[in-house]
Amino acid sequence: MKTYLLALAGLLATAVLAQSPEWQKLTDDAIALHKQGQSEKALVPAQQALDIAVKERGENHPLTAMSLNNLAVMDRTLGKYAESEALYLRALAIREKAPGPKNADLAASLDNMGILFDVQSQFERAEPYYRRALELREKANGPESLEAARSLNNLGEMYMAKRQYDKAEPLLKHAYAIRSASVAKEDPQMKQSTRNLAITYAALGQIPLAEQYADGQVIEGLNLKLLSAPQSPGRGSDKK
């Protein structure tokens, strides 16, 4: 369920790069408030952290991109989509121009753009970002990596939200296979994948298959309003 996994999506608490203690404290404070459901209050330290990053490192530094991303997540959570988009685009531009191979941070930014449009049901705008994030993750981490599974799941849930369950099924099944080989059954990622497959197979009328993934729920005569479609982010890098 994307809401559960991605309610804190995009937040980065500690940079690999060296950072000032003040930046770190403000960032930690912002994330703590956000996790407590106080995203409005979190905007203040998040903005202050961004100001410090720009002042100390410059407009195009990776640390600035991290701060932009954190602030964008909070705006998105608050439904401030225009503000969030502007911040995400700034972070994405910095990461696109970063020297060296395209990395996990760029994939995360692409995912976040997809999520932002996904929550607004702007699926045609979301899909290219999701697909490029998947391409980068498959190239960097391998097609059977947990990182790739995250992108596969995002694409699958987008198709579920569009009620295109035939397109969602192979993506979700692939994500499930990757996760089942790497994480425990009780892991939130596995719960997400099993629930999504149960809903998808039920919607396709494949009740025996749905019951295999339904975690003990009775699927016969399933009311999809009760089980519901996937709760797309906000309905939220990715982890970064």
pLDDT for position 7: 38
Nearest partner of 65 among 41, 88, 31, judged by Cα: 88
Give the burial class of 18: count Cβ atoms within 10 A of its Cβ; 0-12 exposed, 13-18 middle, 19 or more buried.
exposed
Per-residue pLDDT of 86-119, as tens digits, reads 999 999 999 999 876 667 899 999 999 999 999 9
pLDDT computed for residue 216 by the predictor: 60
Nearest to 108 by CA among 74, 66, 142, 47: 66
Q: What is the mean pLDDT of the chain?
A: 85
Q: Please say if the pLDDT value at position 17 is more than 60.
A: no
DSSP-derived letter for residue 158 is: H
pLDDT of residue 12: 56
Share of the chain above pLDDT 70, in %: 80
pLDDT at 77 over 50: yes
pTM, two decimals, is 0.84
Domain coordinates of the chain in residue numbers?
A: 1-99
Total number of residues shown for the chain = 240
User: DSSP secondary-structure letter at 102?
Assistant: -
pLDDT in tens, 157-211: 999 999 999 999 999 999 999 999 999 988 999 999 999 999 999 999 998 899 8
**Residues 52-62: pLDDT tens digits?**
999 999 999 99
Taking residues 113-139, report their average pLDDT.
Answer: 96
Q: What is the pLDDT of residue 221?
A: 46
pLDDT at 40 > cutoff 50: yes
In the predicted structure, residue 81 carries a pLDDT above the cut 70: yes
Report domain 1-99's class.
Answer: mainly alpha
